[in-house]
């Protein structure tokens, strides 16, 4: 194990902090509100009835929502806290 200035449990704390940050980000994300659209707001393809019933207020089809989610996942895995312990290998 690397020495340096890392205290015991530093890696576990960073992992826990990353999970906590992501959980808070997910909680802050607004849920769809209002009436579900019958067609996607982006591509105008029909939104399946089962999706509209499962997610009240849905505005996007699965493909468009997946594209948006994939773009946001690119930033995952970055230690945003920037502690000096994050540089230990």
CA distance 11 to 8: 8
pLDDT computed for residue 50 by the predictor: 94
CA 9 to chain centroid, in Å, comes to 26
pLDDT tens for each residue of 10-67: 888 889 988 898 888 877 777 667 889 999 999 999 999 999 998 889 999 999 999 9
The pTM assigned to this predicted structure is: 0.49
Task: Return d(Cα 55, Cα 45) in angstroms, integer.
Answer: 17
How far is residue 14's CA from residue 6's CA, in Å, rounded to a whole number? 11
pLDDT at 62: 93
- For residue 87, what pLDDT is reported? 56
How confident is the model at residue 44, as a pLDDT? 95
């Amino acid at each position: 194990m690397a020495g340096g200035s890392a205290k015991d449990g530093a890696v576990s704390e960073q992992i826990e902090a990353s999970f906590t940050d992501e959980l808070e980000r997910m909680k802050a994300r607004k849920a769809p509100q209002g009436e579900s659209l019958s067609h996607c707001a982006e591509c105008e393809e029909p939104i399946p009835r089962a999706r509209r019933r499962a997610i009240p207020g849905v505005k996007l089809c699965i493909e468009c929502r997946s594209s948006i989610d994939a773009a946001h996942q690119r930033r995952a895995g970055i230690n945003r806290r920037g502690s000096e312990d994050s540089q230990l290998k």
